[in-house]
Amino acid sequence: MKLIFLAIYIFLILAVIFLERKRPTEALLWVLVMVCIPYAGVFLYLIFGNTVGIRLTSFLRKRRLKFCASPLETNTIPIIPEECLSAEDAQVICFNNVYNHSELTSYETASFYTNGRSHYEQLFKDIAQAKTCIFVEFYTIHHDEVGTAFVNALTQKAAEGVEVLVLFDFIANLSSPASMFRPLKEVGGKVIRVKPYLTHYRSHRKIVTIDHYISYIGGMNIGKQYANLAKVKNPWRDTQIRLTGTCTHILDEYFLTDWLCSIRQKHCADTVAHIIPMLGNREKITKNFCQFIIGGADTTKESVKMCYLSMIRSARSSIRIQTPYFIPDASILDALKTAAAAGVKIELMIPGIKASFFLDPVTTFYCGQLMQYGASVYKYHGYIHAKTMVIDEELCCIGSVNMDMRSLLVDDEICGVFYTNELVKQYIHLFQKDINDCTSYTLEQFQNRGQKEKLMESVFLLLAPIL
């Protein structure tokens, strides 16, 4: 038996080096972990480090969709008059269409929600008025008063005959019992916990679509902390965007693709037959252009990271970022440094309330790296959970993507890139308003940080590739 374990142990170390093709720093980290902590290190690697599961998931998703003969895949780009787009817009649109196969679409109206109370008020109103279908995908639906009210609202609509489909992450919702969703299932709603196994890559998307016309994406899940009803991390500042129009069909397709890949294969054909009549026809495209980028096990490409790089490299005057964590990989950090050194004004907003004891020191370190090139860092008076990036006055990115290696590289994520100058200016106004609720974190403060902070940085930076 010992020989078998030893053989597996040696095989996994060799697999990290020769088979998985990890980045050298990450591969070295995992080899050291497995060598220095025998057997326990293997266990940690299998849960938090291996990419075999990601590749297998990607393979099975593609196989499932091929088996289903899915009608969901599209990749078209309308012919747009050049005067409608700036050079920066056209560059990013072209990149996302070619590299990420992201269809250019449009919206009719767009509204921002920066706190959970206003977001839930509008969302619950839209749910109450739903006539045909409600598709919901969240990372977490918490077992609290907000989560219960949300499930009750869905249950009411399912009882009225509205099609209600709900997806949420398995690990992130271990504290949300099955009994919470039982009434919804009993009246015909369908609920699936995504990825019911222990892995380091999770489903972090937030998508709601209603009647193929109204949709939401952003940083908010369902829970009381987002509405400032929790005692910790208060006040909570987030960003959700409500859209109407033809863009909702794209989000329908992304949701339904996730749904098809989560059900049993024997139910695929019937589900596809059920889905096709739902999809409807796309409305006429408007000049309010946008694209949606998905990342994670859907693709072997680093879709979200490459989209971010395309946006950063298109910047001419300013880059504004809001994120709860700032742990970029080397390529993103170098792109930001290059932009700052070239005279692009970079403003980074992070929480004033600590995210966690191990994420904060690493965030501080990377902020210091940027400040050395002239970037401005602001600490919000509360917990900022928004995941946004604004380039010049040309485009704005909003979604579920944290500026960390997990979101950029492995978790299932979604973000929207919006090219309408009026919407971009609206968000710049919100960003400037947020600065009034911030304290500047200066390069001098970073350089004078204590020895304890430096020690914690040194320790947790070793784990940065897996944070």
- Per-residue pLDDT for the chain (467 aa), expressed as one digit of tens each? 667 767 777 777 777 776 666 677 777 777 787 778 877 777 777 766 666 666 666 666 666 666 665 555 555 555 555 566 888 899 999 999 999 999 999 999 999 999 999 999 999 999 999 999 999 999 999 999 999 999 999 999 999 999 999 999 998 999 999 999 999 999 999 999 988 776 767 889 999 999 999 999 999 999 999 999 988 899 999 999 999 999 999 999 899 888 888 877 767 777 777 766 666 666 678 889 999 999 887 676 889 999 999 999 999 999 999 999 999 989 999 999 999 999 999 999 999 998 777 788 899 999 999 999 999 999 999 999 999 999 999 999 999 999 998 888 888 999 999 999 999 999 999 999 999 999 999 999 999 988 888 888 877 877 666 66
The 3-state secondary structure of the chain, one letter per residue: CHHHHHHHHHHHHHHHHHCCCCCHHHHHHHHHHHHHCCCHHHHHHHHHCCCHHHHHHHHHHHHHHHHHCCCCCCCCCCCCCHHHCCHHHHHHHHHHHHHCCCCCEECCEEEEECCHHHHHHHHHHHHHCCCCEEEEEECCECCCHHHHHHHHHHHHHHHCCCEEEEEEECHHHCCCCHHHCHHHHHCCCEEEEECCCCCCCCECCCEEEECCCEEEEECCCECHHHHCCCCCCCCEECCEEEEECCHHHHHHHHHHHHHHCCCCHHHHHHHHHHHHHHHCCCCCCCCCEEEEEEECCCCCCCHHHHHHHHHHHHCCCEEEEECCCEECCHHHHHHHHHHHHCCCEEEEEEECCCCCCCHHHHHHHHHHHHHCCCCEEEEECCEECCCEEEECCCEEEEECCCEEHHHHHCCEEEEEEECCHHHHHHHHHHHHHHHCCEEEECHHHHHCCCHHHHHHHHHHHCCHHHC
- The rounded distance, in Å, linking the Cα atoms of 347 and 322 is 9
Q: What is the pLDDT of residue 67?
A: 61
- The rounded distance, in Å, linking the Cα atoms of 313 and 322 is 18
Q: What is the pLDDT of residue 60?
A: 64
Quote the distance between the C-alpha of residue 424 and its chain's center.
Answer: 20
143 is written with which tokens?
């077992």
27 half-sphere exposure, CB direction, 13 A CA radius: 13
Handedness of CA 292, 293, 295, 301 (dihedral sign): positive
Rg of the chain over all Cα atoms, to the nearest angstrom: 22
Catalogue all structural domains in the chain, each as residue range(s) with its CATH number. Answer: 2-50 (no CATH), 57-86+103-288 (3.30.870.10), 303-466 (3.30.870.10)
Q: What is the pLDDT of residue 465?
A: 61
109 is written with which tokens?
């109206």
Q: What is the pLDDT of residue 61?
A: 67
Interaxial angle between packed helices 330-341 and 303-314, expressed in degrees from 0 to 180 and rounded to the nearest 10: 0
Q: What is the pLDDT of residue 454?
A: 85
Q: What is the pLDDT of residue 82?
A: 57
Cβ distance 283 to 246 under 8 Å? yes
Cβ distance 242 to 216 under 8 Å? yes
- The rounded distance, in Å, linking the Cα atoms of 158 and 169 is 21
Q: What is the pLDDT of residue 1?
A: 67
CA angle centred on 345, ends 340 and 351, rounded to 5°: 95
Cβ distance 398 to 413 under 8 Å? no
Cα separation of the two ends of the chain: 34
- The rounded distance, in Å, linking the Cα atoms of 438 and 380 is 4
Contacts of 424 (CB under 8 A, 6+ apart): 390, 393, 394, 395, 396, 418
User: CA 309 → CA 38, 91, 305, 397, 437, distances in Å?
Assistant: 38, 12, 6, 12, 29
Cβ distance 192 to 287 under 8 Å? no
CA angle centred on 278, ends 272 and 281, rounded to 5°: 120
Q: Which long-range contacts (CB under 8 A, 24 or more apart) does 225-231 make?
A: 225/116, 225/142, 226/115, 226/116, 226/119, 226/120, 226/146, 226/385, 227/115, 227/116, 227/117, 227/120, 227/146, 228/115, 228/116, 228/117, 229/144, 229/145, 229/146
